A and B are shown apart, each in its own frame.
Chain A
Amino acid sequence: MKRTITVLVHNRSGVLNRITGLFSRRQYNIDSITVGVTENPSISRMTFVVVVDSMENVEQVIKQLHKQIDVLKIKDITDEATVARELVLVRIMATSVQRGEIASLAETFRAQAIDIGKESMTLQVTGNTEKVEAFIELVKPYGIQEVARTGVTAINRSAKMSTDTSRLTLIN
């Protein structure tokens, strides 16, 4: 199963290394990681998507992360009300004749053309993972030259939090 975990860490050099090292040493598979500073420049926020076998496994991941001195807060937000987004850039083959057709396809996904060349164009889409994947599938027939995905970043919704008093949110 896939779980989405957010972690607040000190914005110090080497912290990402500590975290990913921990994952690989304990054989947890990371699907994606996104990192960026928060409103406080000394703190960064990471969003992981991890693949685990069981809830006990997720709990162990969280506990191990919590042991890191640079980790301030961890949350498994998978079962909470969240907004999760991913950004993808796709460069596809596109002759000048096809451009119009592609543009209208893109529109339904609110994708934008951000670069157009003689025989290709690059589109940008944001959305949850399913949407992003659906879009990639859709443009595949044109011939994909390159895809770059950021991985998921996520945040709790501003509406009320999930009622589930998840035991995985904090261990201390």
Chain B
Amino acid sequence: MARYLARRLGQAFLVVAGVVMLTFAVMRLVPGDPAVAFAGPKATPEQLAAARERFGLDDPIPLQFVTYVRDLFTGDWGTSLRTRQPVRDDLYLAFPASLELVGAALVVAVVVGIPIGVLAARYKTKFPDFGVRFTSMLAVSVPVFWLALAMQLVFAGHLGWFSIAGEYDSSLDTTSPLTLWTNITLVDALITGNWPIFSSTLEHLVLPALVVAAYPTGVIAQMTRAALIEESGQDHARLERALGFGETSILTRFALRPALSPVLSLIALVFAYSIVNGFLVEAVFNWPGLGRYAAESIKSLDTPAIAGVTLLVALVYTLANLVVDLLQGVVDPRARAR
């Protein structure tokens, strides 16, 4: 186990080191002078020199890299050229909002995806199966940006059922200010009993969460269906059929549990994917998360911020994979040999 642990940790370290080198290279290879971006296009030569000194841009590249890595370890992720705040502080604000959105989307995906997968498997090649397969195919393949705009137009614009954009009604900041603990609005509102903000956030969350949920729901439904059909063809299912159990009973009582195993490992992967997939959704619904932050940073060529987002997403990916791998190693010794 110790060797397995060391190997997996080593691999994760290599991935993170690679990403760190890549982000540094991108920051330095992008043509143009970050000092100009910080000091403004009309900056005087003295202001430019001050900015160059502040960011150590006159140092040799290897020294800049060493400083960059040292700063990352000490928690200094650089200063955003656009917001002028430490990138780390910006990410602390933006990332929890993305987690909130993706978390809600995954709940929807599991609650909807698994049952309709079961339904499709139960009525294989019949009308419900056809409907589920068609809809899940559509959910997986429709461009998320288009879906976001369409949902916004119909359910927020024309029907007025939900809010068009934002995280919650900002006038509540005056009437019932929220105490922050995790920076995740929904969680903070819940633990501090701030019901006005809680309900307003839920109402604002519905549409973007549904849009982000489209892809994972489709994938989970298809995966559940496929796994169940495979399980129901196994020997144990034949035995159960011989013992007089109905098809529904076989699927839900016996086949579902083993079939869910691949589905659940899929969720961990879809989680990381959805953070990136949510970027466009955040832009449309003005959700103050990582996506909006990344989009604005890219627009204003804020290289330290772009590097920060890239690094954070890479860390989340790596961490998610590492934890899944390690726990798999604990519960299933065969995994250690892989």
Q: Is the A/B pair a real complex?
A: no
